[in-house]
Amino acid sequence: MGEHITVRFDNDRAYVALNRPAKHNGLTLEMLRDLVAAARKVAAHKDTRAVILTGNGPSFSSGLDIAAATRNPVAIVKEFLPRPLRGTNTFQEACWAWRRLDVPVIAAVHGRCFGGGLQLALAADFRIATPSAEFSVMEVAHGLIPDMTGPATLSQLIGLDQALLLSMTADSIDADYARRIGLITDIADDPVQAAEALADRITVRDRKAVAAAKHLFDRSWQRDSRATFAAERLAQLPLLLGKALGRHP
């Protein structure tokens, strides 16, 4: 993995951090690949009982770095190709890989949590944010649609009208509003500390039962996620390639 995604193990916890603070942890293609690798590294560390996902610097993540991601159209196409076994491409697997883990993943959010950064946080099992955190389904502001598994996770967490409202307006909402509509789990002045406390409550329970509960609800809450991911790719690819090739409305 590169320097922009870090993984640290401490007893039964894995701490995964986005580490591009000068860019508010704007996501590059390399970072997406590294997020997939980080999830696999955590999965291979059998002592891990919980994951805490954070962002270094002023924000959790400002979302996909559009300029960096669209610099190479060939790379976009390559990363958009789904892996048949997983049913996801790199953009999607960077988020959904955390849902595949057998252990709870808790996102500790502060500052901006926009676009692809929000999709990553939504793929965690729980989200705890500072009171001043900001959230936005930002993609439409760039002429794109929510992707990176966002349609699947949004449909699990909030109502259709709220999902459309956020997706069509790209409005920024505060933590209080996000909690009221079910986008986040809780608010805390120190979300990492709160995430650790939540992990303490979960990890005292039977490990196999926790894993079974996580996967059961993932399968039953959204029964056709692979079809959702395919529809997402078909809608997003021409928009993203248009950006990369300089075609603007």
Tens-digit pLDDT profile for residues 216-249? 888 776 656 777 888 888 888 888 777 777 754 4
Q: Tell whether 162 is covered by a domain.
A: yes
Number of domains in the chain: 1
Query: Which residue, chain included where needed, has tokens 């705890």?
Result: 128
Average pLDDT of the residues in 203-213: 95
What is the per-residue pLDDT for 102? 97
Residue-wise pLDDT for 42-72, tens only, equals: 999 999 999 999 999 999 999 999 888 888 8
Q: Tell whether 198 is covered by a domain.
A: no
Average pLDDT of the residues in 21-45: 97
Return the ∠ at Cα 5 (arms to 177 and 199), rounded to 5°. 55
Domain housing 77: 5-190+203-244
- Residue pair 14/50 in contact (Cβ under 8 Å)? The answer is yes
Taking the C-alpha atoms of residue 17 and residue 19, their distance in angstroms, rounded to an integer, is 6
H or E stretch at 204:
none
Indicate whether 15 pLDDT > 80: yes
What is the per-residue pLDDT for 249? 46
Q: Tell whether 98 is covered by a domain.
A: yes
What is the per-residue pLDDT for 71? 84
Q: Tell whether 163 is covered by a domain.
A: yes
Total-model pTM:
0.90
Q: What is the CATH number of the domain that holds 114?
A: 3.90.226.10
Average pLDDT of the residues in 36-42: 98
Q: Tell whether 120 is covered by a domain.
A: yes
Q: Tell whether 151 is covered by a domain.
A: yes
pLDDT > 90: percent of the chain: 76
What is the per-residue pLDDT for 236? 84
Residue-wise pLDDT for 80-95, tens only, equals: 899 888 889 999 999 9
Q: Tell whether 196 is covered by a domain.
A: no
What is the per-residue pLDDT for 242? 79
26 DSSP assignment: P
- Residue pair 49/203 in contact (Cβ under 8 Å)? The answer is yes
